[in-house]
Amino acid sequence: MVETAIIMVAAEQHATPVALGLDPTGWVALSMIAVFALMIWKKVPAIIGAALDKQIAGIKSQLDTAATLRAEAEALKVEYQTKLAALDGETAAMRARAEAEATALVAKAKNDVKTLIARRQKTAEERIAAAERTAIADVRDSVVRAAADAARNLIAEQHTATADAVLVERALADIAKL
């Protein structure tokens, strides 16, 4: 027991190392002050700030590009909707012209050409319907391609894979409505 007490007393009486009048805590504090002074002298905060400013400018540029692409896509949509409305008007005019032609033919040759008039009117309506279907299909295809390209660019820049999945499902539903 006496031996353990001597060992415990010896263990409690250790000396703290000191170099040039500073203990380890003082040296750590002095080295940290030196590191901070070196960082300020080499202008590290300004370099970090400049890098962050550059990233901010890049992000702003991407947002501006995305806004421009969106505006272009909306303009294309309006343009194609206008074209579709114009085609509807032309179709109505074509139908009116065909009916007028058929009526004129009936008035000229009521007795002889009743069957011929019916055949021509049917042919004209079929041509009009075919032209209508072709024109509407062409306009829809163009609108879908333009909207898909614009959406693809916009989505590629700003969305994650999960957001992309939701947008793709919405786009497919919108296309199915057309």
pLDDT in tens, 50-81: 888 899 999 999 999 999 999 998 989 898 88
Domains of the chain, by residue range, sit at 68-177
pLDDT in tens, 1-41: 555 555 555 556 667 777 787 888 888 888 899 888 888 88
Quick check: helix, strand or coil at residue 22? Answer: strand
Q: What is the pLDDT of residue 155?
A: 64
pTM: 0.32
Amino acid at 97: R
Bridge partner list, 22: 19
Q: What is the pLDDT of residue 13?
A: 67
Could you tell me which residue, 117 or 12, shows the higher pLDDT? 117
- What would you report as the CA-atom Rg of the chain, rounded to the nearest whole angstrom? 41
The DSSP secondary structure of 8-29, one letter per residue, reads HHHHH-PPPP-BTTB-HHHHHH
Mean of pLDDT over the chain: 80
pLDDT in tens, 86-108: 888 888 888 888 888 878 777 76
Could you tell me which residue, 161 or 128, shows the higher pLDDT? 128
